[in-house]
Structure 1
Amino acid sequence: MPALTAEARAGVLRRARTGRGAAALAPVLYVLPLLALLAFVFGYPLVRIFEFSFKLVRGINGPWIGFRNFELILSQDLFWESVRHNLFLLLAVPAMVGCSLLISIVLYERLRGWKLYRVVLFVPYILAIPIIAVVMKKMFQFSGPVNEALRWLGLDFLALDWIGSSDVALWTVMLLIIWRESALGIILFLARLLSLDESLIEAAKIEGASWWQRARHVILPQMKLVIEFYVVVSVITMLSSVFSYVYMLGGGRGGPGTSTMVVELYIFNALIRTSLPGIASAVSVLLFLVSLLLIVPLFGVRRRSGEQEGQ
C-alpha cells in the first residue's frame, strides 16, 4: 500500500510539473504566429539585403564579389556628398528641440486656448509629407506667396529662389523638416510637463522665481530623459528618414543638381534609376548599421527612465 501511495504521489507531481510547463508555454504559442510573420516580413528582407551587398546582382541574383560594392561606394564623390547633406541636416536637431521646448512650456503655462493650440500644432505631423511638400513647393517658388510677402514688406533681398537655387535648397528642406518634426517634440514634452509635480512649480512662484528661472531650475531638470529621447529620435530621422522631403521638393533627383541628394535618395537612384541592387543594398547595410548604433542610446534612456519611475 505505501508503494502505491508513493507512485500516486509521483504521478501527481508529474502532472503538476506538466501543467506548469504547459501554462508557461501557452503565451509563447499565442505570439508565435506573430513572431513568425514579423520574421518573414522584416527578417527575410534584411538577410537578403546583407546577401545582395556582397554580390554583383543582375535581376534577382548574381555572383559573390566580396566587399567590392562597398569599395565602389566609398570611392564615389556623390555618396560622400549625400552623407555631408545628411550631416548638415543634423543642424536642425537643436532648432527642433529648442522650438519644441519653448512652445510646450508656453502651452504648459495654461495660455488661453492652449488645448486648441496643442491640436493645431500637431496637425503638420499627422499630414502626409507629400501633401505638405507640394503646398510648400508652391509657397516657396520664386514668384510664390512667401517671396511676394517679402517684397511687399520691402525685403526684396530675402526673396530668394528657395527651391530652384542650389545654394538654399537644402536650407529650405531643413526648414520644412523643423516645422513638421517639431510637432512630435511638442507633444512629447507637453505630455511630460503635464505629469510633473505642480507643487514644486507653485513653490518656485511663491519664492518669486521668474518664468525663466522656473523653466531652467525646476522644469528642465525633470525633462532630461524625454529630451534625450527626442534628440536621439531626431538624429535618426535626419540620417535615415528624410527621403520623402527631398524627393518631393527636389523633383526626385536631389535637385537642383545634387544639392539635396541624401543617402536614402542615393539608395533609391542606385536601385530604381541605375538598376544596381548590389550597390543599393551595400549603402542600405551601412545606413542600417549607423541607425543601429544610434538606437542603442534609446535603450539606455528607457532603462534610466524605468529606474527613476521605480524609485
Structure 2
Amino acid sequence: MPIGFAFFGKNNPVSWNYETVPQKEFEKELVAQPVQEVVDSAGGTHKVEAESLEHRKGFQPRGKTLGGSSSINAMLYVRGHKWDYDHWSQLGNEGWSYEEILPYFKKAEHNEMFDNNYHGQDGPLNVSKIRHENQPVKDFVKSGSEIFGFNEDFNGEEQEGIGFYQCTQKDGKRCSAAKAYLVPCLERDNLTILTDTNVNKIVIENKKAVGVECIDKDGNYYILKANKEVILSSGAFGSPQIMLRSGVGPRDEINKHGIEHLHELPGVGKNLQDHIDYLTVHKYDSIELIGMSLRSILFKFPIEIFKIYFRKSWSFYFNCC
C-alpha cells in the first residue's frame, strides 16, 4: 500500500468522502473505551461513542477529480473474476461474458510483464510490476505460497493464490485514467474539459438522451445538448445517482425525492458489491519497511527520496503483495 494512502481520509478535497449507512451485519462489537476515532480498512475514520454496540459504518472514498477514483486509489490492477462476468451474461446481459469483454481489457492495457492471450501491449493504460520488493514482502509471499500456491498473474488464467500485485503505474508513477486517456488528447480541437462542474442529470426527451444538465462551482445550472450521443461513465456510485436524478430507476425511490419518474428500471441503485479487504497491523523492528517512527523518518525517508530521483524506485509509492 503506498504510504499516504491511509491519509486520503475525510475532508479530502479530491474525494466525495462517502460513508455507508450503519448496518448491523457489518460488525457487532461492544466498544468499552471512551469516545474515539476508529480507522477502517480504507483509511477513513469515524467516531465511536463510549459503551456503544457499534454498527460500524464503512468509509467509501470516491475520486472527485479528473480520472475519478483511479487518481486516488491504491493503483492495484485487478480485474473482476471470470465467473462474475459469465454470470452477468447468463442473467441475460448480452456481450458481458468474460470471453466477450477480454478483448476490451487487452485493448486498454499496455502490460510491461505479460504479452499473451490475457494481456495487451498497445493500450494507453500502463500496467507494471512492483518496482520495490523488500525482503519482508518476499518472505510473506514465499510463506503464503507454501499454503495457497504462488500465482504469477492474478489477471491471467487463474486468479486465486499468493503473489505480487500488478499496478497502474508508468516509470514508478501513477497512471490514472486521466493520465492514460485524457492527457494525450488535451490538444484536440473537438475536446472541451470542464472542471469544477458536475452532471446533475441526463436530459431525456421521448425516451432519448439528448443532453446533460450541469452544475458549476457557483451553483449555476445549464444544459449541454448532444449532437450524437450521451455516454454515462461515472462509476459504480456516480452512474446510478445520475440515472435516479434523471428519472430512470425504481418509481418509489425516485418519487420520494420529488423527481419526475420517466422510466421504470428496478435494478438502478441496488445490489452494490465491493471487494473485501482484511488488514492487520504488526510491529516490525527493522526500518526496512516504511513506518511512522523517528528512526524511519531520520534514516529511511532520505534514502527513499534519493531513490525516486535516481532509480525511479520509491517504496512510498508501492503496494506490497
The TM-score normalised by the length of structure 1 is 0.24
Which structure: larger Rg?
1
Q: Which gives a bigger RCO, structure 1 or 2 (Cα 8 Å, sep 6+)? A: 1
Greater strand proportion: 2
